[in-house]
């Protein structure tokens, strides 16, 4: 089918879906059915190719950072901004950017895809660059054992045509980087002092401390001090203030900078790189801060034990009212037994104000065994949020939430405060 016809029909479906408040992937599904070549043909127009971002944790925030850093280098960037981790989500995003002739005005695409969908994506579209973030136990009821996830990421690396950017501190990803041939591999990493803050999945289960390795990294996160971080780029140190919060987000910044360096190479403007990084705000729900009744309310997405652990260590609970919202819908992962691998000691002194979500009572039981006091247990997200705000009017607030709980809470919060649209 001619691209102009596909585009016109696709844009019409997209407009109808928006008017009806429909999902962001619906127009993409329609386009897939009528023209399976729409996505590869459109992306093939890009002179700088495709960057694929994948891994268990941090895809949305890191993708946003790569986009902003590349824009700061003067590139026009297309991205699947809604974070829809399907090829049809990419198609839907393209429909919002192409003109009626199907032409895309961009230099490069930066796409977030989860491991399973990325494997299918690279069968039809070979990325020029791929960024592999981490391999953690996340939604294992969907993807199987952790080594299955690693094999998916290996397939992504093997189908990358130019450069693979790898987390040096993840042993499974490091093995991928050392084992692939015929393409460039670059690493981002941590200083020895920060390694203990980022245990791999194996480290968490064995109790062993992370061990330093000697592979060279193009970008290293050296230190973090409140809202300031020091990075080392090609053996030169840079300090910058950040709007990002949480040690995991700041490590993702190292990943984003390593990817920008791999793309720009000698054309990289390091001053503009640091300026752009200082302006990046968290992606929705990933340390996002809203204002409710004059007080900040932070949303912190949690998906697995390592991510929850890092979140708890990143945010001091003193002076904050804390709520935890846990669902077990498909997008969250059905198996929530990983909650028992999280250390909740930091909440013991101040307790948790509210526990909510489909698995509220499971979460409350976990906190009971951790000797964390819980003031209220209410499975209904809407009721719990309303009461949480009412009972803690004069305090800043923080909500740790699984993915679908975060989306539902944002919808409720949008009724009372400004919330960035995500579709």
- Give Cα separations from 303 to 286, 293, 336, 367 (angstroms): 11, 29, 9, 17
Give the pLDDT score at 244.
86
pLDDT at residue 142 is higher than 60: no
- What whole-number distance in Å separates Cα of residue 133 and Cα of residue 322? 29
pLDDT-derived band at 339 (thresholds 50, 70, 90) equals: very high
**DSSP collapsed to 3 states, the chain:** CCHHHHHHHHHHHHHHHHHCCCCCCHHHHHHHHHCCCHHHHHHCCCCCCEEEEECCCCHHHHHHHHHHHHHHCCCCEEECCCCCCCHHHHHHHHHCCCCCCCCCCCCEEEEECCHHHHHHHHHHCCCCEEEECCCCCCCHHHHCCHHHHHHHHHHHHHCCCCEEEEECCCHHHHHHHHHCCCCEEEEEEECHHHHHHCCCHHHHHHCCCCCCCCCCCCEEEEEEECCEEEEEECCEEEEEECCCCCHHHHHHHHHHHHHHHHHHHHHCCHHHHHHHHHHCCCCCCEEEEEEECCEEEEEEECCCHHHHHHHHHHCCCCCCEEEEECCCCHHHCCCCHHHHHCCCHHHCCCCEEEEECCCHHHHHHHHHHCCCCEEEEECCHHHHHHHHHHHCCCCCEEEEECHHHHHHHHHHHCCCCCCCCCC
Query: Which one has a higher pLDDT value, 332 or 128?
Result: 128
Sign of the Cα pseudo-torsion (231, 233, 234, 235, in order): negative
Give the pLDDT score at 330.
84
pLDDT-derived band at 85 (thresholds 50, 70, 90) equals: low
Query: Which one has a higher pLDDT value, 326 or 310?
Result: 326
pLDDT digits (tens, 9 = 90+) for 289-322: 899 999 999 999 998 888 898 889 888 999 999 9
**Main-chain dihedrals φ then ψ at residue 190, nearest 5 degrees:** -120, 150
Highest mean pLDDT among 3-12, 305-314, 323-332, 353-362: 353-362
Q: CB under 8 Å to 135, separation ≥6 — which residues?
A: 55, 56, 146, 149, 150, 153, 170, 172, 173, 201
- What whole-number distance in Å separates Cα of residue 170 and Cα of residue 397? 33
Give the pLDDT score at 75.
98
Give the pLDDT score at 318.
94
Q: Which of 225, 177, 199 is nearest to 57 (CA)?
A: 199
- What whole-number distance in Å separates Cα of residue 239 and Cα of residue 64? 21
Give the pLDDT score at 31.
75
For 19, other C-beta atoms within 10 Å of its C-beta total: 8
- What whole-number distance in Å separates Cα of residue 290 and Cα of residue 300? 12
pLDDT digits (tens, 9 = 90+) for 167-220: 999 999 999 999 998 899 999 999 999 988 777 666 665 555 566 677 999 999
**Main-chain dihedrals φ then ψ at residue 238, nearest 5 degrees:** -135, 140
Average pLDDT score over residue span 276-293: 84
Average pLDDT score over residue span 391-399: 96
Contact between residue 224 and residue 125 where contact means Cβ atoms under 8 Å apart: no
Average pLDDT score over residue span 74-88: 78
Average pLDDT score over residue span 348-372: 97
Contact between residue 355 and residue 364 where contact means Cβ atoms under 8 Å apart: yes
Of 5-9, 109-113, 398-402, the range with the lowest mean pLDDT is: 5-9
Give the pLDDT score at 277.
96
Q: For the sheet containing 374-378, what is the strand order? A: 286-292, 295-301, 397-401, 321-325, 352-356, 374-378
Q: For the sheet containing 219-225, what is the strand order? A: 77-79, 108-112, 50-54, 129-132, 163-167, 184-190, 219-225, 228-233, 236-241
Give the pLDDT score at 30.
73
Highest mean pLDDT among 81-90, 107-116, 134-143, 357-366: 357-366
pLDDT-derived band at 285 (thresholds 50, 70, 90) equals: low
Give the pLDDT score at 66.
98
Give the pLDDT score at 20.
59
pLDDT digits (tens, 9 = 90+) for 379-394: 999 999 999 999 999 9
Tell me the average pLDDT of the chain: 88
pLDDT-derived band at 334 (thresholds 50, 70, 90) equals: confident
pLDDT at residue 141 is higher than 60: no
β-bridge partners, 238: 231
Percent of the chain with pLDDT over 90: 61
Q: Which of 396, 355, 399 is nearest to 374 (CA)?
A: 355
Average pLDDT score over residue span 349-359: 97
pLDDT at residue 423 is higher than 50: no
Within its chain, how far is the Cα of 176 from the centroid? 21
């Amino acid at each position: 089918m001619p691209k102009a016809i596909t585009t016109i029909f696709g844009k019409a479906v997209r407009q109808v879906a928006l008017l009806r408040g429909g999902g962001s992937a619906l127009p993409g599904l329609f386009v897939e059915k009528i023209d399976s070549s729409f996505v590869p043909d459109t992306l093939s127009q890009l002179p700088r190719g495709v960057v694929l971002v994948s891994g268990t944790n941090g895809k949305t925030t890191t993708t946003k950072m790569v986009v902003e850093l590349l824009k700061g280098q003067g590139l026009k960037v297309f991205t699947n901004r809604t974070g829809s981790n399907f090829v049809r989500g990419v198609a839907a995003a393209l429909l919002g950017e192409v003109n009626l002739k199907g032409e895309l005005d961009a230099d490069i695409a930066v796409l977030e895809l989860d491991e399973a969908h990325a494997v299918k994506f690279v069968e039809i579209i070979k990325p020029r660059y791929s960024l592999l973030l981490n391999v953690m136990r996340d939604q294992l009821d969907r993807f199987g054992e952790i080594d299955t996830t690693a094999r998916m990421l290996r397939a992504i690396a093997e189908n990358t045509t130019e450069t693979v950017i790898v987390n040096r501190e993840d042993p499974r990803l490091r093995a991928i980087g050392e084992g692939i041939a015929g393409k460039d591999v670059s690493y981002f990493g941590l200083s020895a002092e920060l390694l203990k803050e980022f245990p791999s999945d194996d480290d968490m289960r064995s109790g062993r401390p992370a061990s330093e390795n000697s592979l060279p990294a193009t970008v290293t996160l050296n230190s973090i001090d409140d809202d300031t971080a020091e990075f080392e780029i090609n053996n030169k140190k840079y300090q910058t203030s950040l709007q990002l919060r949480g040690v995991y987000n700041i490590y993702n910044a190292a990943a984003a900078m390593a990817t920008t360096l791999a793309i720009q190479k000698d054309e990289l403007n390091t001053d503009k790189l640091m300026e752009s990084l200082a302006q990046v705000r968290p992606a929705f729900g990933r340390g996002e801060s809203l204002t409710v009744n004059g007080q900040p309310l932070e949303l912190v997405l949690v998906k697995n034990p390592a991510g929850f652990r890092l979140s708890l260590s990143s945010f001091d609970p003193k002076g904050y009212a804390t709520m935890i919202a846990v669902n077990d819908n498909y997008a969250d992962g059905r198996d929530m037994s990983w909650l028992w691998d999280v250390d909740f000691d930091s909440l013991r002194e101040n307790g948790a104000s509210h526990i909510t979500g489909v698995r509220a009572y499971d979460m409350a039981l976990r906190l009971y065994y951790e000797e964390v006091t819980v003031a209220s247990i209410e499975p209904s997200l809407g009721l719990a949020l309303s009461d949480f705000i009412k009972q803690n009017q004069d305090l800043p607030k923080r909500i740790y939430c699984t993915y679908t709980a975060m989306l539902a809470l944002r919808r409720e919060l949008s009724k009372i405060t400004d919330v960035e649209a995500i579709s």
